[in-house]
Structure 1
Amino acid sequence: YAVDQGNTVFLVSWSNPDKSLDKTTWDQYVEQGAIQAIRVAQQIYGQEQLNMLGFCVGGTIISTALAVLAARGEHPASSLTLLTTFLDFSDTGVLDVFVDEAQVARREKTLGAGGLMPGRDLASTFSSLRPNDLVWNYVQSNYLKGNEPVPFD
């Protein structure tokens, strides 16, 4: 849709980390990922300011990058739209059940070498945020009623 409206669109997605990234810090990820992507888009597009959109952790990353750049006196965003993005982690709302001190300590012990979380664990966490839709619906239908699971992917 955006392209049909005459906009030039650059899409940046984070990569699935592997062992080569296990020592990468947040600052490095922001500098070498998001800020570098902004610079490349500016160069290709030939404009200093860009309209930006960030989704979930991508919004947190791009917001961090823009804050770093603002501290340097650079303002590359003409606009910024954020979708389901945390900026203030002092009150994580419903996520508190997953990020209290005990949960974080337990998770740190299970991450293993390289500090990587298995995708199935992340999927399970997100399913737990909407238990009626993403967990109990299947327990009720499949286990209690014996229905075949409906493909949804």
Structure 2
Amino acid sequence: MFSYLRLMDEQDLDWVMAVEQRVHLLPWSKRGFEQALLDGVSFVISNQDHQALGYLVVQTVLDELHLLNLAIDQTFQGQGVAQMAMKAFIERFEDSPFQKILLEVRESNLVARHLYLKLGFKLDGVRRNYYQTSTGREDALLMSLVI
């Protein structure tokens, strides 16, 4: 299913926005993705037929990579795409100046939490009331991986 990560560019934004609207309760704006393209490095997750499956949005800060957004199109969820993409993402930066990957994950997102722990991420702390929900606020778990 998964084949590679390719750099995201402005031509991907309409597709990314469509996926973002489908998979997130409170989706990013198009402006947010445009800014992410300027501020960091983002990838489209593709299969061997170059079909887009999902995306990763990453901000670089000194020697750290901050994973801001990971989404898999609903059609491809539950097929191991996120795990394979995260492994490829980690491997891509193993021999780079970057030392650590940071992320926040919703406390209620048990699937993502399990994936990150399986990949070796460690729980570093909690950001209280970080995420907005349909009924209020939710804590974010802060996680990191030394690469």
TM-score by length of 1: 0.32
Larger radius of gyration: 1
Query: Between Structure 1 and Structure 2, which shows a larger proportion of helix residues?
Result: 1
Query: Between Structure 1 and Structure 2, which shows a larger proportion of strand residues?
Result: 2
